[in-house]
Amino acid sequence: MNVRSFGCALACAMGMATPLRAAVLFENSGTQAGWDSQLTQMKGTITEVASPTFRTATALRMEQTFQGFGGYHSEVRKHDAQKPGEVVFYGEALYLPPEWKFHPQNVTFEQWARSDVFGSPWILMYVEGEKLRLGGSGPAHGDFGSVAGKAGKWIRIVTRIDARAAGTMDLWVDGQKTLSLKGNFVPDGQNLRWSVGMYCTRWRQEQPAGLNPMILFHDQMRVATTYEEADPASWGGGGTAPPPEDAGALAPVDAGGPAPTPADAGQPPPDASAPVPPPQRPDAARSPPPAGGAGGQGQGDEEPEPTPPVKKKAGGEGGCQVGGGPSPAWGLLVVLGWLVLRRRR
């Protein structure tokens, strides 16, 4: 073997021959067709509209009208969007209508969960007040952007999930990296399902504080192997997306620790020495566990809390006591036996 052949063989063995090509694993340009499944509850609607759109012919319009307390859902789903061990980017363009009211009730617009269990959302992405936030029963918690002044404008959101053993989750808003988390992002070792839609979680027990009907829009949704392919700015006639801004301002946060302070684009990194309150799941104390059902019916925005076991009484419901020390009857039998033996003597 000559030197050139040996060098090529060595490069191939070290994984240096040819970099992997960027690939689009799934995409949807604002249509109801093409998803693995969809769900609406409490008369929610999902429709295709010609305006507003993000560089494509149509966008998905989600709407819910309050009609009493309950689980309000309008979602489209991509099953098995990611397998354990994979690194995947999720991108979409989100639009809050110009008349949007900023309010303290969270409105979820994306979520990830196990593909095989339709009643157990895991990572929630939602608008609350003027903030973009993460929550749910999984390892992702924290603020990752601001929507102040962005009503009536398209917002590009890209999420990177590294589902390997020591995984990470990274967030970009309009090309700016805003949050990085460390943790186990493989729910029970199962595939991930990606859902896009609208979930008015607080309407389970609270009157609407924002729009009623509640409306938002989704467009240019992609699952890809690179940031450039996932960013909505890179497709639909937009040309090549600019590289993500990752200046290192935000160090990865351990997902098992406290939630980071708000990290908006252009702001300095949070002070690691300052005390931070523990993360709060949206509606952790407000929403009752939703009823499950086949085919995703009854899906809620939280996993049901386990029911504690019923404690048994120490002595049972009655009858003879087993364990827990001798009873008075046993002592009486001992005395009688001793008297009988003594009389026989």
Place of tokens 């020591």: 166
- In this prediction, residue 342 carries a pLDDT of 59
- In this prediction, residue 201 carries a pLDDT of 82
SS3 338: helix
* pLDDT tens digits along 320-332: 232 334 444 445 5
- In this prediction, residue 14 carries a pLDDT of 41
Domains of the chain (ranges; CATH) run 22-293 (2.60.120.200)
SS3 37: strand
Statement: the pTM of the whole predicted model exceeds 0.75: no
State yes or no: pLDDT of 185 exceeds 90.
Answer: no
Place of tokens 């946060």: 253
* pLDDT tens digits along 107-122: 999 999 998 877 666 8
Closest CA to 74 of 195, 158, 159, 155: 195
344 vs 188, residue with greater confidence = 188
* pLDDT tens digits along 17-29: 334 568 999 999 9
Whether the CB-CB separation of 183 and 161 falls below 8 Å is answered with no
What is the Cα–Cα distance from 213 to 187, expressed in whole angstroms?
34
**pLDDT band per the 50, 70, 90 thresholds, residue 251:** very low
Q: What is the mean pLDDT of residues 71-91?
A: 93
In this structure, what token pair is assigned to residue 301? 């925005």
Most confidently modeled of 146-150, 164-168, 203-207?
A: 146-150
